[in-house]
Homo-oligomer: A and B are copies of this chain.
Amino acid sequence: MSAALSDPRPAAPSASQARALLVDRYGSAEAPAGLLLNDTIAGLLSHRSVRAFSDRPLPEGLIETLVAAAQSAPSSSNLQTFSVVAVENPQTKARLAEIAGGQKHVVEAPLVLVWLADLARLEEIGRRAGHPTDALSFLETLFVGIIDAALAAQNALVALESLGLGGVYLGAFRNRPVEVAELLGLPPNVLGVFGLAIGHPDPARPADVKPRLSQRLVLHRERYDASLPQAAVEHYEAALRTFQKGQGLPEVGWTATALNRVRGAEALSGRDRIRDALAALGFGLR
């Protein structure tokens, strides 16, 4: 076994480092106290999406490591309905960047993993066995594929961040799923759910931890609480403006941006037609 025991994480976070992470994540007014912390959890709390990569090459064995982490995530009924395409070819990345609406970090990243909801593998195994696979044509089974792909991808992201690398998901591949399928040679019943651009973070263009909504708005005890306290929403507005200021971004807050993104079909960048695209890709959606 040539496994390299590389890049051990630093020592467990101190209490003050932990507090700083939680203030970054929630703002000082809403940062929870009394959390359980270790290196792995500190790593999760430290996540930031990286869109600026250096040209430092990726380590040998990275792709296989990320796929092993991904496959170690749970899979619904162990159906293993995800696959992944590892793209390093500059021309393919350029085309993916264009499909994603001109996201230049897709080209800059040395590696793009495209996570697939893959119902074709079971279809082919059924064909070889002479066994019906009619349940693959239901919307539920596409959900299974999407969930399997998401759980897998998140494990890969956790793994790569633990190695000091950075990444960002690329949901915009769903703007034009048929073109992604053509580019990557996907058979029917396979959807590119999202991409993950991966590289060494460029130290000259660092990303910060983005604040999230207060746990008061997200965590419910025993039953859903629909009261949505306005004060917590306003604390979040303030925390996100502070983040935006620190990143040199326009201080537009969250509410206006999020509401603009869900205002109507025209805000969905083509994803309002995803049912037609899925039908074209062979999904039954029953």
Contacts and interface: CB of A to CB of B under 8 A. Distances in A.
Interface string A1-33: 111111111001111101100100110000011
A269 to B, nearest CB: 10
Interface stretch (A36-44, A97-105, A198-206): A36-44
Contact of A222 (B34, B92, B230): B92
Given A212-B72, A271-B138, A40 B37 contact: no
Q: Sorted from nearest, which 9 A-B pairs have the closest CB atoms?
A: A150-B150, A40-B162, A140-B271, A154-B154, A134-B264, A1-B19, A185-B223, A135-B262, A71-B212
A267 B141 CA distance: 11
B36 A76 contact: no
A172 to B, nearest CB: 10
Interface string A209-228: 11011010111111110101
Interface string A128-140: 1101111110111
